[in-house]
């Protein structure tokens, strides 16, 4: 007989979960090494109880999402939707909104950095970050690494399909792409530079 407990915490690959023992063993998304159980995924820790004869064994698992909930965790290689919150000389700070096509729940706060050298594949030393993004922009980006804690990540928009998909002008006006390096206000026609994502929907808009 097996029973599930609730998710314990969010972890990333390589995190130590529990000491292993005769009454505790690794399950899906985990592995055992030197007497400890480690996570091999980014996700939620679950502790399952299995009845074996007259004793109960704990099986430790890591899953990408909670069964029956929309909780998701960003992972290396995944494409995310993020909102730019601030711009510096060397990087832009972002807040993650979606992982692939799944929105993050309101209580899940994942931050990210987009460094200047990860904005585009060429001419990295000539990039002016402020001409690529602006606070309030919504971007598509790829997760390339974990940050300095379990809820921060490093992003890249170096692929053509990644970059700004929605923007607001300095005046607060909504903007749409007019080419791959400019957004334009829908009412005033004022242009501002951006690193625009080359997604199919925008292909139809730009032509």
Per-residue pLDDT tens digits for 59-112: 998 886 544 444 567 888 889 999 999 999 899 999 998 888 777 766 567 899
Contact 118, 154 (CB under 8 A): yes
| SS3 of residue 16 by DSSP | strand
Cβ neighbours for 91, distance < 8 A, ≥ 6 positions apart: 113, 114, 115, 116, 129
Kindly state the average pLDDT of the residues 109-119: 92
Report the pLDDT value the prediction gives residue 71, as an integer from 0 to 100.
52
Report the pLDDT value the prediction gives residue 156, as an integer from 0 to 100.
97
Read out DSSP for 58-110? EEEEEESS-TTS------TT-EEEEEEEEE-SSEEEEEEEEETTEEPPTT---
Report the pLDDT value the prediction gives residue 141, as an integer from 0 to 100.
96
Q: Quick one: which of 143, 68, 74 has its CA closest to 103?
A: 74
Domains of the chain from N-terminus onward: 2-63 (2.40.50.880), 79-206 (2.40.50.140)
Kindly state the average pLDDT of the residues 119-147: 90
pTM: 0.65
Percentage of the chain beyond pLDDT 90 is: 35
Mean pLDDT for the chain overall: 82
Kindly state the average pLDDT of the residues 192-198: 93
């Amino acid at each position: 007989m097996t029973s599930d407990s609730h998710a314990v915490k969010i972890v990333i690959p390589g995190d130590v979960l529990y000491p292993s023992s005769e009454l505790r063993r690794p399950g899906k998304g985990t592995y055992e090494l030197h007497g400890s159980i480690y996570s091999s995924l980014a996700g939620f820790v679950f502790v399952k109880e299995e009845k074996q004869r007259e004793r109960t064994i704990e099986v430790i698992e890591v899953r990408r999402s909670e069964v029956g909930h929309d909780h998701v965790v960003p992972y290396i290689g995944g494409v995310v939707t993020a909102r730019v919150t601030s711009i510096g000389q060397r990087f832009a700070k972002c807040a993650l909104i979606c992982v692939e096509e799944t929105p993050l729940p309101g209580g899940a706060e994942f931050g990210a950095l987009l460094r200047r050298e990860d904005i585009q594949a060429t001419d990295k030393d000539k990039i002016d970050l402020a001409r690529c993004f602006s606070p309030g922009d919504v971007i598509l980006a790829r997760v390339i690494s974990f940050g300095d804690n379990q809820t921060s990540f490093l992003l890249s928009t170096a692929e053509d399909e990644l970059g700004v998909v929605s923007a607001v002008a300095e005046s607060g006006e909504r903007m749409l792409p007019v080419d791959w390096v400019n957004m334009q206000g829908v009412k005033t026609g004022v242009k501002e530079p951006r690193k625009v994502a080359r997604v199919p929907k925008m292909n139809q808009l730009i032509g």
